[in-house]
Amino acid sequence: MEVKRITVDHDLKKAFQIRKEVFVEEQGVPVEAEFDEFDTLNGQCEHILVYYEEHSVGTGRVRVVDGAGKLERICILAPYRKFGLGKVIIKALEDVAKKKEYLG
């Protein structure tokens, strides 16, 4: 497995597709509620992708809220939920937040 910080639009689109499949299609979240003004590469959030066997299968983001890092939009495609990837995403986002000094 591999964790990758999202720095290009192509990878951000992969993350959006994962989120759409999990949150919108699987869980029934309205698409207009799932995607927001923080879904850009402008620095307001740091987004990541998690790969399993060369396939992008999970994503998440960290955003500053009231001076602290808030982990958001964390999801993994259904067939890959049994491999501990949620822990990988949380750890990666916490590491990003620490480097950016969002967490102590």
Let me know if residue 46 belongs to a domain: yes
Contact residues for 68 (Cβ-Cβ < 8 A; gap 6+): 102, 103
User: pLDDT tens-digit profile of 39-96?
Assistant: 999 878 999 999 999 999 999 999 988 888 899 999 999 999 999 999 999 999 999 8
Positive or negative: CA dihedral 77, 57, 29, 72: positive
CATH number at residue 21: 3.40.630.30
Let me know if residue 89 belongs to a domain: yes
With 0-12 / 13-18 / 19 or more C-beta atoms within 10 angstroms meaning exposed / middle / buried, residue 39 is middle
Tally of domains in the chain: 1
What is the pTM assigned to this prediction? 0.92
Q: What is the pLDDT of residue 3?
A: 96
Q: What is the pLDDT of residue 101?
A: 73
Let me know if residue 104 belongs to a domain: no
Q: Which domain holds residue 78?
A: 2-99
Let me know if residue 83 belongs to a domain: yes
Q: What is the pLDDT of residue 65?
A: 87
